[in-house]
Amino acid sequence: MNNYVIMSDTGCDIEFDTLKEWEVGFRGLTFHFEGDQEHKEGDMSKKEFYTRMRAGEVSRTSAVNSQSFKELFEEDLKKGHDILYIGFSSGISATSNSAEMAANELRDEYPDRKLITIDTLSASAGQGLMLYYAVEKKKAGAGIEENAQYIREMIPKLAHWFTVEDLVYLKRGGRVSAAAAFAGGVLGIKPVLHVDDDGRLINMMKVRGREQSLKAIAKKYIENALDPKGKYFISHGDCFEDAKLLESMIVAEGGSECALITEIGMIIGSHAGPGTIALFFLANGR
Integer Cα distance of 42 and 105 in angstroms: 28
Q: What pLDDT is attached to residue 186?
A: 43
Residues present in the chain in total: 286
Q: What pLDDT is attached to residue 181?
A: 46
For the chain, which ranges sit under pLDDT 50? 178-179, 181-182, 184, 186
Q: What pLDDT is attached to residue 125?
A: 97
CATH 3.30.70.890 at 4-155, yes or no: no
* CATH 3.30.1180.10 intervals, the chain: 157-282
Q: What is the pLDDT of residues 157-171, one digit of tens each?
A: 999 999 998 777 766
* CATH 3.40.50.10170 intervals, the chain: 4-155
Q: What pLDDT is attached to residue 146?
A: 98
Q: What pLDDT is attached to residue 246?
A: 98
Integer Cα distance of 228 and 255 in angstroms: 5
From the CB of residue 2, how many other CB atoms can be counted at a distance below 10 Å?
13
Q: What pLDDT is attached to residue 176?
A: 55
Q: What pLDDT is attached to residue 165?
A: 86
Q: Which residues contact 40 (CB under 8 A, 6 or more apart)?
A: 28, 29, 30
CATH of the domain spanning 157-282: 3.30.1180.10
Phi, psi of 281 (to 5 degrees): -165, 165
Decide: 14 and 125 in contact? Cβ < 8 Å.
yes
82-87 and 115-119 as β-strands: parallel, antiparallel, unpaired?
parallel
